[in-house]
């Protein structure tokens, strides 16, 4: 007769082992976002520029460290933003975050109704000194204006008495200046006439919206944003223009007045460099 539990009682249940294996097989949130970013061909710098999420927060989230987000609400928002940027459904990631961090955050309680009553500022009496100073300034200004007006009337009567005609003193009519016309956006013909010592690149979102990033030959960012369908942007540099197209299939490119006929696939990310001369990608 044995005392205590048998070895069979100490073995884990079959359901518990299956659940543990399932949790170990499921990749973490940061791992999923990192693999999707790499598959999309984007660097951390580029995903940070596209989503406005700081680079240190992107690094921390991909390492499954959400303390840099500043709270559960901000962490959920960053997860949703990064997932959409790499074309993932954010719902499973948000559900996984809720499972590991205690579900949805509790709503912040409203401020007490009588809080405003306690911080009401004290009522002060009228500032009679400031009112008196303002009245004196108004009186002095009125007297000065009256004296100045009287001097002008006396000078006009003296001119008439000397024999000058009232109409002769009238100043000639000045010609009104025409308002400056707004500069139009550069057209295809204007791009074709671009200086030969510069490279001119025009990006047009012809078949849909796309995220665009453009840098000059020094690596300085010229433009970083999203072009809606029908919008276009023109970039010019003395020697070189670097482009990153988030959805190259929706873009028409014109380099130094010539259209680039590359067959970009919808949804593909393209990194291109154009220089002076023939529009060939570097």
3-state secondary structure of 236: strand
Query: Which of the pair, 271 or 18, is modelled with greater confidence?
Result: 271
229 Cβ contact list (under 8 Å, min separation 6) = 205, 206, 207, 208, 209, 250
Lowest mean pLDDT among 50-54, 116-120, 238-242: 116-120
pLDDT the model gives residue 123: 61
pTM metric for this prediction: 0.36
Backbone angles phi, psi at 93, to 5 degrees: -70, -40
Q: Is the dihedral of CA 209, 210, 211, 216 positive or negative?
A: negative
With a cut of 70, say whether residue 162 has pLDDT above it.
no
The whole-number average pLDDT for the span 15-42 is: 75
Mean pLDDT of the chain, nearest integer: 75
Q: For residue range 79-91, what is the model confidence (pLDDT) as tens digits?
A: 999 999 999 999 9
With a cut of 70, say whether residue 103 has pLDDT above it.
no
Percent of the chain with pLDDT over 70: 65
Which domains are present in the chain?
15-101 (1.10.260.40), 188-275 (no CATH)
In sequence order, what E strands does 101-239 have?
199-205, 210-215, 221-227, 232-237
The total of other beta-carbon atoms located within 10 Å of residue 42's CB is 20
Lowest mean pLDDT among 36-40, 160-164, 180-184: 160-164
The whole-number average pLDDT for the span 265-275 is: 84
The whole-number average pLDDT for the span 158-175 is: 46
Lowest mean pLDDT among 8-12, 92-96, 209-213, 256-260: 8-12
Checking 190-195 for CB contacts under 8 A at 24+ apart, the result is 191/234, 191/254, 191/256, 191/257, 192/256, 192/257, 193/257, 194/236, 194/256, 194/257
Q: For residue range 43-91, what is the model confidence (pLDDT) as tens digits?
A: 999 999 999 999 999 999 999 999 989 889 999 999 999 999 999 999 9
């Amino acid at each position: 007769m044995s005392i205590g539990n048998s070895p069979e009682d100490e073995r884990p249940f079959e359901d518990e082992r299956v659940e543990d294996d399932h949790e170990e097989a499921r990749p973490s949130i940061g791992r999923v976002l990192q693999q999707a970013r790499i598959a999309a061909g984007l660097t951390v710098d580029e995903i940070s520029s596209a989503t406005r999420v700081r680079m240190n927060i992107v690094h921390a989230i991909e390492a499954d460290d959400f303390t840099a987000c500043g709270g559960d609400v901000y962490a959920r928002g960053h997860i949703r933003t990064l997932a959409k940027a790499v074309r993932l459904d954010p719902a499973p990631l948000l559900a996984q975050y809720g499972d590991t961090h205690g579900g949805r955050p509790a709503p912040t309680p409203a401020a007490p109704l009588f809080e405003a009553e306690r911080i009401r500022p004290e009522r002060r009496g009228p500032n009679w000194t400031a009112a008196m100073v303002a009245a004196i300034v108004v009186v002095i200004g009125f007297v000065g204006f009256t004296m100045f007006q009287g001097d002008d009337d006396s000078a006009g009567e003296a001119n008439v008495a000397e024999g000058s005609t009232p109409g002769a003193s009238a100043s000639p009519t000045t010609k009104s200046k025409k308002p400056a016309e707004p500069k139009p956006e550069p057209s295809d013909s204007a791009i074709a006439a671009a200086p030969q010592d510069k490279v001119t690149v025009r990006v047009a979102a012809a078949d849909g919206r796309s995220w665009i990033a453009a840098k000059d030959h020094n690596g300085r960012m010229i433009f970083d944003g999203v072009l809606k369908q029908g919008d276009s942007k023109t970039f010019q540099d003395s020697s070189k223009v670097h482009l990153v197209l988030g959805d190259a299939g929706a873009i028409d490119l014109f380099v130094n007045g010539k259209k680039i006929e590359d067959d970009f696939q919808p949804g593909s990310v393209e990194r291109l460099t154009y220089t002076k001369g023939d529009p060939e990608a570097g």
